[in-house]
Structure 1
Amino acid sequence: MKQFILFILVLLPVCAFAQFTETFDGPILNAGWIGGRDSFLIEGGQLKLNAPGGKSGIASLKHIIPYASNMQWEFEAQINTNPSDNNNVRIALYDEGGIYYYVQIGFAGKNKIGFRRSKQKDMFERQENNLGNKTHLAIKVTLEDNKYWTMYSRQINETYYKLEGSCTYPIIAAKDSGYFLINIIYTGGRNKHFLLDNIYVSDKITPTVTEPSEDPEEPDDPSEPDITLPKLLSIEPLTLSDLQFVFDLPVKTEQATFSVSNIGNADRITYADESRKIVNTHYPEEMKTGEVYTISYSGVMDEKGSTLDGYSEKVTVEEEGEGDEEPSDSKAIVINEIMAKPGDGSFFEYVELYNPTDRIFSLNELELWNGNKRKVLPDVVLPPHEYALLYNSNIDYSGDGVVIPIEKFYALNDAGQHLALKTPSGVIIDEVTYEKATPAKSWERSSSGWHLSSDLRGGTPGSANSSGEGEEKPNEPVTPDEPDEPDTPDEPSLPDITVEPGEFVINELLPNPFTGGSEYIELYNRSGHALPVSGLSIAVRKADGTLNTRYPLSSVASMIEPDGYVLLTKNLSGVTDFYTILSPSSLFEVPKLPILANTSSTLVLFRTKDEVVIDEVSYSSKWHASSVKDQKGVALERIDPEAETQSAANWTSASATAGYGTPGYQNSQSDISSPDDPDSPDEPTGIEVPQWDESSGHYTISYYLDQPGYSCRVFIFNLAGIRVAEIANHELLGMKGQLTWDGYALSGKQLQTGIYIFYAELYHTTGTVKRYKHIFPTR
């Protein structure tokens, strides 16, 4: 189930969390703006009308925004001509099913500003504003409780607003989202006289400083500069226990508290990058589906130490589906069309995404993978039932759909390729392996599968797919000397060997990877003979006892030798970048695997053909060693491959000395020693005194233990009994291994040559404590 819970959380509707900010910092127009993009450009950090001259016209742009019962719109408009009925700006704030609530700057013969509802007269009486040949205004409109409207304006060089008017007009057909619409009406000679900037839409209404009275009580101190505090732009749920807060300016979090109701305060607060605008928070427990939580923070400051207002927002954690593979309409974002081999004069290479739901989704930082290559998507929202087109930025395209030009977009493989749309944490949103391309025809998705486009143009970028009638199958190759990918001689097909229950066992699990890492599942061949994995599948067992989505392991085309390991992961670099790899040939990247819940789940390994269970484990995060306080990145290891899989006593955390994981080789907590291992003593000997290793330039402290589950504290004392160095403090050990020490004292300086006391304390979860004290010389 976690696969779909994370899917919904990461792609939460924009209206649930996000605000909308557009500062036109460029250099090109944000891809989320649709409409007459060719009539606008970014110049000097502003949106500027750049329509063809010589005749009158209307230029329009629109961007999807969230709606709420309480809203605030702010924007700046600059008109370098006298506003009138023939030259004016209309900004539609709310779209009530084709009925727009909009601000208009400029009327016939009147230097006035108005707030109107289409097919309706003015919402309130317009006031004289003395608009001149160069009008530069800041506009602010608020909506309270879906019915109370208030509008303000100010000259851009002033610090206070003027109340334009207020009225009561209820929203009859309230919606979750709609378009922020820009309409500019211009005459032929004024096609470059309009500019817009600093659009900000929020569901928080802030106080408005209005025009002061003739006798103000206490004027502001002119020596005090204006302070612009950072604003919260969005909250992105990364996992059920991780939230990301995005601000428009850098923030300081040293005094901040981030909280989730019924769970508590964040136990880890970090910056996502050097900009200090993005704050990642981790919470001690996971949020549960169906529950309502209040997300809040306080004590956040700007870079100068000014404190931001506290924030509080109620959210509901949703779940969707049971995890089975369903047609495209069950997904939030789908890969909908692929043009891999355009013909002469036809379309360029592109990948089309589609939003089949009634909700708005953010594509920000989603990743489109082409085999092992990826492209990160920009901050663009995809409206309901809209198409997004991804293509190389050197292509000049202004057709249908939300256009997303990607710099150095990778080439699509003509012979076929696996594509996957993923979240930043690696969760697969949608994926497809398209077949060999036919020139000038795209692959299109339908309810019954994929087909070649039957559209006369060869594809339908940015619009509904063709029926595919007459094109259900790809063209077959006809050239005899160019066969489709012949078998490679050094990769023969695997022998038909039936794996029996218990011959493979689940040996190691990583449900909660490091940030940027990948989950993994490790299998161990304890059968005594070589076995294939390709005939097996893996799945999560549901609460009712049935199996969730089946994931075949047919892509693992290797025979696994006795005592061999199989490491399964969706992203090899998410493992190799974080752990020591001793056997690269044991690691296999499998595009589709079940999502492992952080807390507990039941994982089943079974034969694909008849679903006979080979091994099954219902793991729990409670199986971790008690000394492990942060489980992120710590694998659960099986202690004895011959002992019962389901026994909690047969599992524990991978040791710290092994890097908290042993992917593809013997577990750090395994009590099975190889008879050929010269380092394996006849009996456990405890822990040895530090030995200087000239080649590595540090001391090593070897240990051999009688059972897994020991943690240790190791210190160095001088002869007066004063502790001068710390080697380990509550560090989880494996069955055998080495601690290292660089020879430095607690003071941060190299410990002076002399005689010292080495003290080690090993303690077990059962209560067993072993203490060791030795005199030793330092070099």
Structure 2
Amino acid sequence: MLAGLALLTFLSRGIAQEGWSGDVDLFALEGGQLTLTPLAQGREQAEIHRSYELRSGVPVAWTMECHYDRRPSRYNTFALDLFSIQTEAGLETYTLAPDPKGLEVRLVRRLSPANGARKEEVLLRHTLTSPDEVWSKVALRVVYDGDRTIRLSMLSPEGGVRHADIAVQLGGRLEGLLSLRVKFTSGRMSSTFWTEPTIHFPYKSLGQVRLLRSARRSDGTLVLYLSQPVNLSRAVALVGGRETRVAYGETLREVILPVSSPSGSGPIEVRISGMETLDGPVGEWQTSIERPSAEDRSGLIISEIMIDPPTVGPLARVPYVEIANRGTAPVDLGRVILRCRTTAYDLPPVTLSPGGYAVLHSSQHKLPQESIHTLPMDHFPSMSGSFALSLEWRSGQSIDRVVVDDRLREPGLQREGRSIERIESDPPQWRYSTTPTGGTPGAPSLMRPYETLAPGALVVSELMLSPESVGEKYIELYNTSSQPIELEGVHMSFRNSPDGSYSAWPLVVSPYTLPAKSYAVLTPYPPALERLYPLCDPSTLVERIDFPSISPTYSEISLIARADRTTIDQVVYRRQWLGDTAADRTRHSLERVSPQADGTKKSAWRRASEASRGGTPGRLNSSSTESGSEGTWPDDPHLSYEQMMALLPLYGELATLELFTLEGQQIYRKEGREVRPFIEKLQDGKAPLPTLIIVVRVTFTPPDPDFVPLTYSGKWVHAGAM
């Protein structure tokens, strides 16, 4: 279909040199990544295009990657025009683009007649179940087989590989015009990039996965740059015979192996199994890389970055970059340059000892601490928005590189007045400094890495969003795991409509350890819950004055681990799930029937019972159906003594106690809250009864129509004092 064009390969050259025209000054092309330049600030859209010759009957494919901090919207989106056909009805253009809400990937045919209104038809679409996650890294490809079939394919870590086909008849004069049109807002333009659109002609498949180059970073990780996007969700790697985890770099073509190189000599063998491309499973993939040189093992890293310094204190108004020598040999910094975006900055010719730190900052500012090894620079980078910061040898070889964007920053936490510190972990983590001064320049970080959490380890177990007073709202969390969880390592992401934007909220503002199999209740005013729910354990209540603005009508809520941005729980709250009347929908919480239930489904939730006063903060839910848990409502209506005693603390208000003689004469009857204290007196021999054998019967009225009434009956000996 394309005449005289082989695979168009895009290198780190000016975009105009690659044959593009249009708003070329608004785009930058580096390492195959297409970003918006500072000149685009204040603009709302930009377009670049290039033409090529088309020929019918020849297979062709178009590929590109998209990287958005969250899903595209009407004002932050793109459209890639692939080709056009001039027909009798008008000009048909085939375009790859998201829908206006970012919920789908679409291939659209647009007809522009000479006279009349323009018409659009969606030929193919992929609907996304987790659009914000998918759009953070997604590879797209459109293939025309040269005959009558077009295929739309996508690859993402969340959704894997998906295909959709349609039969088309391309008749008319073909016109090759590849056009990328983007819309953006100033707040998001720096956190978005694409890979440059690529045309494959003639197309059979993308072929075998090839290693284009490899690099070793100063933190001991290997970066493999591959010839095409890959899915790593099931991948396992062996490096020098050692099994290691596999992670993505900035794009789906970059694979990071977070291990130190094995000792020895000669090339290092790398084997990866379980990878998948847009063309299917790869099988076992192997390559070998050269063992790192002395320069590769220098150990220099960027260890701390202060972008928005505090306004008071010892670090007031001083942006800085801290570098550390993690190697075993001194490093002459005069041989190293600091690069911010595309500008290189010379470092002072000083020697950095092993284990040492150097703090780079503008000579116009001063860091007062005498113990800090400071390196004032006459030319220091202006760090704002999203940018790449790297250390390089003067020879051009990379030492370390950090991309500062929304993927590095911690969602929901204050950015101003605090540095971002690199935490020693595998792989490295970045955290906002928790020190009172706002940073630790010239010294090791005092923070620990966030712990990784398995999906389902922490869940939202109850939501009270429609109380009588705002202070009575609460979110109950439950640790399902056998290990304690640090809640500062988890944040909440929520939105109040299916097409709304997500907001981030930290679960806690100070360290809080949630023990295994325990509850934490986040609420604006704990005393209100203690007053309303006498059975509530006050130790589970966590005061959060800045309670999130979750809608009491509809909300989607996710718990996300900060360590690796893994979503560990997802729930949906709908007010109509509480009941049909206004009385049903106020003063009652939604309780999750089981921690394992799918929190996005109505079947996972029930309204808290009246007997529990409309909620069970910090204790087992009144509607729980969790099998094997003490205190849950059994299916068998006949209770054992152990079951009855376990249910009393939870459902005492639903209990009725009756005492009978062996002849069947009723002696006592107690209801509700009087039942449990009277039973304790019976057990201690302090009830107002003589010594005798009695029949004890305890019945529980079910809190839900779907539950059966429960009864315990047994003979007791009361050794009374009467």
| TM-score, length-scaled by structure 1 | 0.29
Q: Return the structure number with greater helix share.
A: 2
| TM-score, length-scaled by structure 2 | 0.31
